[in-house]
Structure 1
Amino acid sequence: MDIDPVTLEAETIRLEPLSVDDHLADLQANGSQSIIFRWFGEDISGPEAMRDWVTAAVEDGARGRALPFATVSRETGEAIGSTRFGAIQPAHRSVEIGWTWLTPDYWRTAANTEAKYLMLEHAFEEWDCVRVEFKTDSRNRRSRAAIERLGATQEGIHRQHRHTHQGLRDSVYFSVLDTEWPGVKRRLLEKLDD
């Protein structure tokens, strides 16, 4: 698995390698509402918290522990959110997609579906992964529904999995396997064509 930074492009968004210089100001502006981070591990809506979060994500990328992206609107050129590959396990050909957030103006648009399609396609077709996993707070119904709409299978719930700014969190795990990818890909492409 070559986890070097890469740009992935769809119709309405582009996933660019996350950069403090190129994306921080947009992310601070577009991520300034606490509601975005209600179910996130921490509330990063303040400018300093966002700077720390972006800096840490970029550092994780430099260490090869993650591949973080800025989600950029192709229409405006603004960074409207972020997502990343993490839990990268080349020996097991497995990766997690997560740490995803979008500014509310882009909720329930094609942006998240396009980003997840690009990342799934990259994981299965470029990295030859056998498994891609997702996890979310069990209370985050919007995120759970979005992951299910991708075609991921719920695997289970890790109870009291982690501490967050909202207290203890149960994490719901989902996955897409390489054998499931052709069907998931077809359904996602049909959804994006609608």
Structure 2
Amino acid sequence: MSPAELDRQPLLEGERFALRPLRADDWDALYAIASDPAVWEQHPMTDRWREEVFRAFFEDALAKGGALAIIDTRDGTIIGSSRFQALKSAEDDEEEQSSVEIGWTFLAPRYWGTGANREVKRLMLAHALESVERVDFRVGEANWRSRIALENIGAQRTRRTELSRHQGKRVLHLVYAISREDFAQGPLMQASE
């Protein structure tokens, strides 16, 4: 399967959580989560809890495709969202690997530390790495919660990049990656065996 064949809006189901394509009618459920400032406190865009800011984020997710709603399969509630973005073939990438970015992930705080992020990332990585050689993650330099979570699933920090300014400030993101080989031998696969 080639990168062009990667389904960026699959239906994925794990033991406790499932992912499905994001829909416009998911707004109320997702904004109920996103309106909590704690969700964004370490994120470079700390104001994403504001309705107009989150509305732009939500509309962008729908417009670009690749956005997924995260569902708790025990009761069918939406608990967050994630995305597949920046799909690249080997010819497009300086490291000569096909890749996709997983990101824009957020979860309701009551699911932090419960294994939800770990299961969601395992599902997304297993799906993506059938089609691409590497998955990238970008995380704000000061977002320690996400950085630790990425390191706990076996992601390796690769390089530092600068994004455009946000609210007059320079925003730095760190780039992490997991290759097919790293995933096959990493903590997510060992935990599922």
Q: Is this a same-fold pair by TM over 0.5?
A: yes
Contact kept, 8 Å, 1:42 with 1:164, in 2: the verdict is: no
Q: Within the alignment, does 1:176 sit opposite 2:141 as a pair?
A: no
Q: Which amino acid aligns with 1:70?
A: A
Task: Let me know the Cα RMSD of the aligned residues.
Answer: 2.0
In structure 2, list runs of 5 or more residues that go unmatched.
92-97
The change in CA–CA distance for 1:78 and 1:167 in structure 2 (over 3 A counts) is farther
- Report the secondary structure of 1:76's partner residue: coil
Q: Which amino acid aligns with 1:188?
A: L
Q: Within the alignment, does 1:18 sit opposite 2:22 as a pair?
A: yes
Give the alignment's TM-score, normalised by structure 1. Answer: 0.85
1:72 Cα deviation after fit: 1.2
In structure 1, list runs of 5 or more residues that go unmatched.
62-66
Q: Within the alignment, does 1:96 sit opposite 2:124 as a pair?
A: no
1:48-94 Cα deviation digits (max 9, x unpaired): 43333222211111xxxxx1101111122121111001111145521
Give the alignment's TM-score, normalised by structure 2. Answer: 0.85
1:64 matched to which residue of 2?
none
1:136-184 Cα deviation digits (max 9, x unpaired): 01111111110011101111222x4332359322211111112222102
Number of equivalenced pairs? 182
CA distance in 2, matches of 1:14, 1:115: 8
1:106 matched to which residue of 2?
111
- Report the secondary structure of 1:179's partner residue: helix
1:80-112 Cα deviation digits (max 9, x unpaired): 111001111145521011011111111111110
The 5-angstrom pairing of residues 49-88 of structure 1 reads 49-61=53-65, 67-88=66-87
Contact kept, 8 Å, 1:114 with 1:192, in 2: the verdict is: no
The change in CA–CA distance for 1:42 and 1:20 in structure 2 (over 3 A counts) is farther
CA distance in 1, matches of 2:137, 2:70: 18
Contact kept, 8 Å, 2:22 with 2:68, in 1: the verdict is: yes
